[in-house]
Amino acid sequence: MAIIFDGKTFAREKEIKLKEEIKRLSERSIKPKLVSILVGDNPASVMYVKLKKKAAERVGAEVEVRSMMSDVRKEKIIGLIQTLNKDESTHGIMVQLPLPANFSEKDRDEIIKTIAKEKDVDGLREDGLYLTPTVKAVLEVVREATPYITLKVPPLKVAVVGAKGFEGKKIFKVMKEMVYVVEGLDREIENLNTKTRQADILISVTGSPGIIGKEEIKDGAVIIDVGSPKGDVKADEIIDKAAFISPVPGGIGPITISALLENLVEAAI
């Protein structure tokens, strides 16, 4: 029976430390402030922004949400970011992704590049100063899962399903820099389950519900679901085959928010 990782409890423990750090900053009259730009009304995006705002309030930080209509001109978003870059009371700026379908990848990248490096606490820029919160969360879970990995002889084999996506690329890159044998996989390849069954650690970040089931995993593997918003993994199906599962919801998500707040605190120091 697999260990089911409790990301909510893990994140709350991190929040205790964050609250202490923010209290120390308050003694210097500093209150970490993040401005989150929300374009459109994607239900998942609206939910994530609310969760980030609530988490910030719990630790004593501030999240200001700037909502815009889905048909807003790219130039208006860029203008707002340029203004916030100059605002000393704003320590972090993020654009909630994905943007509405009327924005191209080029538009997205241009908007992201406008965010000042020192305020890019969501780690969206390629040359950013901060590690993407999702990547930080994955690394945290991998560390927690390591004692449950049944492989006795290193190196561990890691598969990242969805390695070509926006978040998948970042996860793949960081895992490659560590002491793992890493393979990036596309969800549409014909022999996907042959590849995934070789992985000691399987990370899925496709956003395709139920793409990973019993036939796609190795006995005793660590499974980390980063699929949003419904999860890529059939957790109830693999519970007797995997050694460790980080599920959706309640796994990576809460830790991602606390990791974002950690970056914000660092930016405010």
Give me the sign of the Cα torsion angle 41, 42, 47, 49. negative
Instruction: Determine the pLDDT at residue 267.
Output: 98
> For residue 195, with 0-12 CB atoms within 10 Å meaning exposed, 13-18 middle and 19 or more buried, which class applies?
middle
- Please tell me what DSSP assigns to residue 40: S
Q: Are 240 and 3 in contact (CB under 8 A)?
A: no
pLDDT, one tens digit for every residue, the chain (269 residues): 899 999 999 999 999 999 999 999 999 999 999 999 999 999 989 999 999 999 999 999 999 999 999 999 999 999 999 999 999 999 999 999 999 999 999 999 999 999 999 999 999 998 999 999 999 999 999 999 988 887 656 788 999 999 999 899 999 999 999 888 999 999 888 889 999 999 999 999 999 999 999 999 999 999 999 998 899 999 999 999 999 999 999 999 999 999 999 999 999 99
Query: Which residue stretches of the chain are H helix?
Result: 7-26, 43-59, 74-85, 105-114, 133-145, 166-176, 192-196, 235-238, 252-268
Q: What is the pTM of this model?
A: 0.94
Other residues' Cβ atoms within 10 Å of the Cβ of residue 22: 21
Q: Indicate the pairing of strand 92-95 with strand 180-185.
A: unpaired
Other residues' Cβ atoms within 10 Å of the Cβ of residue 154: 11
As a whole number of angstroms, the distance between CA 231 and CA 266 comes to 30
Domain ranges of the chain: 28-119, 133-253
Domain 28-119 of CATH type 3.10.450.50: no
Please determine whether the domains at 28-119 and 133-253 fall in the same fold group of CATH: yes
Sheet holding 92-95, edge to edge: 62-68, 33-39, 92-95
- CATH of 133-253, picked from 3.50.50.60, 3.10.20.70, 3.90.1150.10, 3.40.50.720, is 3.40.50.720
Instruction: Determine the pLDDT at residue 153.
Output: 65
As a whole number of angstroms, the distance between CA 219 and CA 200 comes to 9
Q: Which amino acid is located at 122 in the chain? A: D
